[in-house]
Amino acid sequence: MTVGPEINLTAEWQRTQDINQRLMDRNRRWDELYQAGGGKVSDFLRADFGTEDPAGLQIDPTPDQTIAIKSMIEAPGYKDYSLLDKFITFHYISGFVIEDRDDAIYLNPRLFPARERQKSFDPVRYTNAALGHLLGHKTLEVSDTASHEFAHTRQHHIEKGGWRGKPSGNDILQAGLSEKPTIARYWREANRFIKDISALLKQRFPVDGYFAETKEMQARMHEMLAVGYAQWQKLPTTRTELWAALSNMGVEPTEAIRKQLEESEDGKKALADFAVTPAIAARVAHVASTFNNIASHVGEADVKEGLWVSHYPALYGELLEFYGDGPGRARMGLGQNPRAAIEAVRTIRSNETEMSESEATQIAASIPPASAAPFLNKVMMTLRHSPYNARAMQVSQALLTREDVRQEMFRDRLNESGSDGIFYGNQVARNYLDTDNTLPLSSALNLGNTEMVRIIMKAGANPFQRYLDVDIRDKPLFSSSAAQVVLSWAKDMDYLADPTRVPKTERERVSDPGFREWVEARGKAIETMLESSPDPDRTHPFVHTDGTREQVSLRELVDRAKRMSAPDPERPQEYEL
């Protein structure tokens, strides 16, 4: 047999052996972490990648939090499970983290048989193990399961800080359905329902209710890339490289993405740089298949394209930040790493004492302009009724004195000349991992937060400035403004004035015991907005929810809302919500 000069069988054999050795070393490192009972975040990164500084990234070390690794038998509540529940958990769940906990991973003891044998005799565990062996359950890879759960702890770490949003799989699966005829929508929904029921009958998790959840997709992406690192010895740093890595590992790209990878110079290089051996492809095949099932579940071609163009880069951009990469999501074209703002929220929550003006200014100075709007929304949503609210308001006020922040947040200013009604276009709004990028003034009005309304209006917010939300395909979902909150409030006031006007779809919301108090709080916030406006009689373009447009002033809009919610016969009939 003649072998061309471009192939060196000895070198190729050695390369394969090196890759296999790295994978075995990865298993060993995770086993050592388990036997040690856990470690620091840096230890977990080292277990996954062989280093706490993955090649290709700009690592700014993250706070080195301690994470415990325990047997699921030690999980809170496990002892109270029935024998049947223990059996099911033991044989169908390889590991888990507890919701809202970022400091512990619970793994199936079957992953570590050697260590478990050293423990005292447990008849339940040994009965489970024996039955599992009879049923043919194979030994699981400890490193893959532990790696997956480690990603979940990083997600929970952000959530505990009051930062991360929680979009569901439906945000992906429902995109585009509203544009289809009713019959087509029902057929697509029925098809998905049948697939999920079929999965449950086969004792598998459903796509819609589990695999398509953002948390699960991101953890599985981390799991694949950590395995691939054993061969690449670097991580993707561009969208094209990410696409190549996923494609090489068995995630089926769309035709447009495939063409770009195979025909462009960058794509060809990325495919070569992030190639994987058949053994690695086989090891992650079950993970890649979940991504392919999600794409199949989606159905619509433009949504499948959106998975590759928008959603996968969003998941990965945040993963890079979990690893400590400074650019993070910016590498994927998704704006600025919000880590500084996340740490600002943590600092605010660190104690309850009032901070000095200089301390508040220092914390505010650390927040990037692109993260200012989400920061304000986060502290309003999570800290308003907490002991930390006074500190949050101090930092918020200091933040809104910065000219760069005002320029970023208020693209159309009341105290400046220029065009009105500009769409709010924060780049981070296109990151589907975070749902708190709406206009802070709208949030403050909806929450009835008069103090925040006053601060934001003083900084120069325009109530008629519009915010554009987009779906996974980058297509507009809706636009909103603080001015539209005024009319929404009028509708709720109308419901309070005459309950007979409440439609069936709204009755549960309106009957809530706290509904009246919430409506009244919004009314006070709206009055504060009007009083704080430097020019409430200036007219602006206003777009109604039905798309109709008009020129109207803030004072006129508020007065109209009051008349619309007034009892008959004062109610004017020419305006409809």
pLDDT tens, residue by residue, 20-46: 899 999 989 998 998 899 999 999 999
Can you tell me the mean pLDDT for 354-373? 93
Encoded amino acid at 370, one letter: A
Burial group, residue 223, by CB count within 10 angstroms (0-12, 13-18, 19+): buried
Give the span between the Cα atoms of 18 and 77, in whole angstroms.
43
488 or 415, higher pLDDT: 488
pLDDT for position 199: 55
The tokens for 346 are 């943590």
* DSSP 8-state secondary structure symbol assigned to residue 95: E
Alpha-carbon distances of 425 from 366, 466, 522, rounded to whole Å: 22, 9, 26
Sorting pLDDT into bands at 50, 70 and 90, what band is 370? confident
On the CB side of 164, CA atoms within 13 Å amount to 22
Model confidence at 179, pLDDT cuts 50, 70, 90, reads low
Write the single-letter amino acid at 46: R
> Residue 417 pLDDT more than 50?
no
Alpha-carbon span 402 to 408, nearest angstrom: 10
Q: 476 forms bridges with which residues in the sheet?
A: 470
Please answer whether residues 469 and 429 qualify as being in contact, where contact means their C-beta atoms are separated by less than 8 angstroms.
yes
Q: State the pLDDT at residue 139.
A: 43
Residue the block writes with tokens 């890595």: 245
pLDDT at 208: 57
Higher-confidence position of 111 and 381: 381
Q: What is the pLDDT of residues 99-156, one digit of tens each?
A: 888 999 999 887 765 444 444 444 444 444 444 444 344 445 678 899 999 999 999 9
Alpha carbon distances (Å) from 156 to 63, 319, 464: 15, 13, 36
Task: Please name the helix (run of DSSP H) or strand (run of DSSP E) that holds residue 549, with its range, or none.
Answer: strand 549-553
CA distance 288 to 392: 43
* Residue of 336, 436, 444 lying closest to 397 (CA atoms): 444
Cα separation, 183 vs 185, whole angstroms: 5
Closest CA to 277 of 232, 311, 217: 232
Give the rounded percent of residues in the chain with a pLDDT score beyond 90: 46
Please tell me the predicted confidence (pLDDT) of residue 197. Answer: 59
Q: Looking at the predicted structure, is the pLDDT value of residue 169 above 70?
A: no
Of 75-84, 182-191, 262-271, 494-503, where does mean pLDDT reach its minimum?
182-191
Element (H, E) at 380: helix 372-383
CA 23 to chain centre: 30
Identity at 522, one-letter amino acid code: R
50 in helix, strand or coil? Answer: coil
Percent pLDDT > 70 in the chain is 79
CA quadruple 112, 228, 292, 471: dihedral sign:
positive
Q: Is 288 helix (H, G, I), strand (E, B) or coil?
A: helix
- pLDDT of 293 > 90? The answer is no
The helix/strand/coil state of 1 is coil
> What is the pLDDT, as a whole number, of residue 198?
59
Give tens-digit pLDDT for 427-438: 333 344 455 668
CB atoms closer than 10 angstroms to residue 457: 23
Tell me what the mean pLDDT of segment 343-368 comes to.
92
DSSP character for 178? Answer: G
- Helices and strands: H and E segment counts in the chain: 27, 9
Decide: helix, strand or coil at residue 245.
helix
Nearest CA to 459 among 438, 440, 486?
440
Record the tokens describing residue 568, joined without a space.
């008959």
* Angle, CA 162 vertex, CA 217 and CA 480 arms, to 5°: 80
Comparing CA positions, the residue from 287, 279, 286, 307 lying closest to residue 295 is 307
Task: State the chain's mean pLDDT as an integer.
Answer: 82
HEC states along 52-86?
Answer: CCCCCCCECCCCCCEEEEEEHHHCCCHHHCCHHHH
Query: pLDDT at residue 166 above 90?
Result: no
**152-156, 194-198, 333-337, 342-346: range with lowest mean pLDDT:** 194-198
Q: How confident is the model at residue 416 (pLDDT cuts 50, 70, 90)?
A: very low
CA 353 to chain centroid: 31
Residue 209: the pLDDT is 65
As a whole number, mean pLDDT of residues 289-307 equals 87
pLDDT digits (tens, 9 = 90+) for 67-84: 999 988 888 888 888 888
Instruction: Write the single-letter amino acid at 437.
Output: N
Convert 17-32 into a string of H (helix), E (strand) and C (coil). HHHHHHHHHHHHHHHH
What pLDDT band is residue 380 in, cutting at 50, 70 and 90? very high
Is a pLDDT exceeding 50 seen at residue 446?
yes
Question: Under a CB-based contact definition with an 8 Å cutoff, are residues 423 and 429 in contact?
Answer: no
pLDDT at residue 336 in the model: 79
Chain centre to alpha carbon of residue 556:
39
pLDDT value of residue 3: 44
Calculate the alpha carbon distances from 434 to 305, 311, 335, 407 in Å.
Answer: 20, 12, 12, 22
Distance in Å from the first CA to the final CA of the chain: 81
d(CA 222, CA 108): 20
For residues 539 and 553, is the Cβ–Cβ distance under 8 A? yes
Distance CA 20, CA 274 (A): 16
Does the structure show a pLDDT above 90 at 520? yes
